[in-house]
Amino acid sequence: MRVSSPHVSKGQIIMKKLLPFVCFVLFVGTALAQSPSPSPAYSETADAKPVASPEHRNERPATLDELKAKVKAAKAKDDVILAWDKFKDESIIMSKPENIVGSWEGAFAVMATSGYGRPGIPRLIMVALETRFPQQTLRETPEDFLLVFDGMSPDWQWLKSDKRLYFLFDGDKRMQLAPMASDTDVGHNAAALEKIAYVITREQAAALANAAKVELRIGTAPPRELKPKVLEKWKTFLAVTQLDPATGH
């Protein structure tokens, strides 16, 4: 008599891989809807310079198709996501979410929580920058973005802390951001799901993207280092969301 061993279907594996990204996108939309006018983020870096009003910027609006062409020309389709929600008539530009947890740490979490026919729970922290705008035309260069972290792990990573985001970059430069919105849930196999969003200015994002080394910590959670490919994606995101000067004036 042959007894089949417990197994995980291919469909379950695919859904498990997609779950963090799906949760990430849904949470970001909710955070933006709850805070249409985000408050300025705190920073210990140099004071931000005044930003010119849209009517004095003399910029040329760009359609979503033009922005996609810009990404294609830069050969950066793996760095930035551009999409349009036809039901909300709203467009989104997002740096492609990247996991900032080391592969060994993530694999260890899976091994430590697997057994008795149950698949293990990975440790992930996906991070991305994003902005949204009405319809399919970006009419002014955005100066504030959402910086979103989406976590999945066997235990809570930053639930019991002040959730303040601390950055240490280029040796002794520091930056702090207060949380704008956060959410928690319990997923499949009792996985701890945590999502948190911060408002970050273009100037602050650029300072991090151009730094040689960036370390961060959410509340009292273990510190993390942003990999070079994360910073490269942020540079591309900033370039794509920067409108070109208007001509013929």
Chunked mean pLDDT (size 10), the chain, 249 residues:
41 42 46 39 40 64 96 92 96 94 52 53 82 97 96 73 92 94 75 89 98 94 92 96 83
Instruction: Yes or no: say if 217 and 158 are a contact pair by the CB < 8 Å rule.
Output: no
Residue 16's φ and ψ, nearest 5 degrees, are -65, -35
Q: Is the dihedral of CA 175, 178, 179, 180 positive or negative?
A: negative
Domains of the chain by residue range = 10-48+56-240
Would you state the pLDDT for residue 114? Answer: 55
The pTM (predicted TM-score) of the whole model is 0.73
Residue 209's φ and ψ, nearest 5 degrees, are -60, -30
Residue 133's φ and ψ, nearest 5 degrees, are -150, 155
Residue 101's φ and ψ, nearest 5 degrees, are -90, 135
Would you state the pLDDT for residue 122? Answer: 60
